[in-house]
Chains A and B, each alone.
Chain A
Amino acid sequence: MEKIVLHLFIAGRTVRAERAIATLRRICEHELANYECELNIVDVLAEPQQAEVRRILATPTLIKEVPPPARRIIGDLGGDPHELLAALNLPPNP
Chain B
Amino acid sequence: MQQFDGLAPHVTDDTRLRQIVAASADGMIVVDREGRVCFLNPAAANILGRRAEDLMDQIFGYPVLGGERAEIDLLHPDGQHSVGEMRVVDTEWEGAPAQLVSLRDITEHRRANQALRDAEAFNWAILNSLSVHLAVLDARGTIIAVNSAWIEFSRANGDLDLQRTGVGVNYFTICEHAHGRWSDEVNEVLEGMRAVLEGRSPTYELEYPCHSPQEERWFVMRVVPLRGQRPGLVISHTNVTVQRQMARAASEATMLRERLATLERELVDVERMAQQENSVPRRISATPLRQRNSGAFGTAVATYHELLDIALMRQRGIPDASPERGLRALSDTLGFQAATPRDIVEIHLAGVRSAGIGAPPIKQQAYLEEGRLMVLELMGYLAGHYRGRALGRMGDVDDGSTEPA
**Interface, chain A (partner B; CB < 8 A):** 11, 14, 16, 44, 48, 51, 55-61, 69, 71-79, 83-84, 87
Q: What distance in Å separates the Cβ of B336 from its nearest Cβ neighbour in chain A?
A: 94
A-B contact pairs, 24 of them (CB 8 A): A11-B75, A55-B58, A55-B59, A56-B75, A58-B61, A58-B73, A58-B84, A59-B72, A69-B34, A71-B62, A72-B59, A72-B62, A73-B61, A73-B62, A73-B63, A74-B61, A74-B63, A74-B64, A75-B65, A76-B64, A77-B64, A78-B64, A78-B70, A87-B64
Q: For residues 28 through 59 of chain B, which have their beta carbon under 8 Å from a beta carbon of chain A?
A: 34-35, 48, 50, 55, 58-59
Residues of A within 8 A of B35 (CB): 71-74
Other CB < 8 Å A-B pairs besides A44-B75, A79-B66, 10 of them? A11-B81, A51-B75, A57-B60, A58-B61, A58-B74, A59-B75, A74-B62, A74-B63, A76-B70, A78-B65
Which partner residue on chain B sits nearest A51 by CB separation?
B75
Q: What distance in Å separates the Cβ of A15 from its nearest Cβ neighbour in chain B?
A: 9
Interface residue? B240 (CB, 8 A): no
Q: Specify which of A72, A75, A84 is in contact with B70 (CB 8 Å cutoff).
A: A75
Interface string of B155-186 (1 = CB under 8 A from A): 00000000000000000000000000000000
Which partner residue on chain B sits nearest A55 by CB separation?
B58
Interchain CB contact under 8 A, B72 and A84: no
Interchain CB contact under 8 A, A57 and B61: yes
Residues of A within 8 A of B88 (CB): 75
Residues of B within 8 A of A83 (CB): 64
Residues of A within 8 A of B62 (CB): 71-74, 87
Interface residue? B21 (CB, 8 A): no
Q: What distance in Å separates the Cβ of B172 from its nearest Cβ neighbour in chain A?
A: 41
Residue with the greatest number of chain B CB neighbours at <10 A, chosen from A59, A71, A76: A76
How big is chain B's contact interface, by range?
20 to 34
Residues of A within 8 A of B58 (CB): 55
**Whole-angstrom CA separation of A12 from B4 in the bound complex:** 34
Interchain CB contact under 8 A, A72 and B79: no
The answer to whether A48 and B71 touch (CB under 8 A), given A74-B35, A75-B65, A87-B62, is no
Interface residue? B319 (CB, 8 A): no
Q: What distance in Å separates the Cβ of B75 from its nearest Cβ neighbour in chain A?
A: 6
**Whole-angstrom CA separation of A71 from B34 in the bound complex:** 6
Residues of A within 8 A of B213 (CB): none
**Whole-angstrom CA separation of A11 from B72 in the bound complex:** 9
Residues of A within 8 A of B84 (CB): 58
The answer to whether A79 and B64 touch (CB under 8 A), given A71-B34, A72-B35, is yes
**Whole-angstrom CA separation of A75 from B65 in the bound complex:** 5
Interchain CB contact under 8 A, A75 and B63: yes
Interchain CB contact under 8 A, A75 and B72: yes
Residues of B within 8 A of A51 (CB): 75
**Whole-angstrom CA separation of A16 from B48 in the bound complex:** 19
**Whole-angstrom CA separation of A9 from B75 in the bound complex:** 11
Interchain CB contact under 8 A, B66 and A76: yes
The answer to whether A84 and B75 touch (CB under 8 A), given A71-B35, A72-B59, A75-B70, is no
Q: Specify which of B66, B71, B75 is in contact with A57 (CB 8 Å cutoff).
A: B75
Interchain CB contact under 8 A, A77 and B66: yes
**Whole-angstrom CA separation of A76 from B68 in the bound complex:** 11
Which partner residue on chain B sits nearest A52 by CB separation?
B77
Q: What distance in Å separates the Cβ of A85 from its nearest Cβ neighbour in chain B?
A: 10
**Whole-angstrom CA separation of A70 from B66 in the bound complex:** 22
**Whole-angstrom CA separation of A16 from B59 in the bound complex:** 22
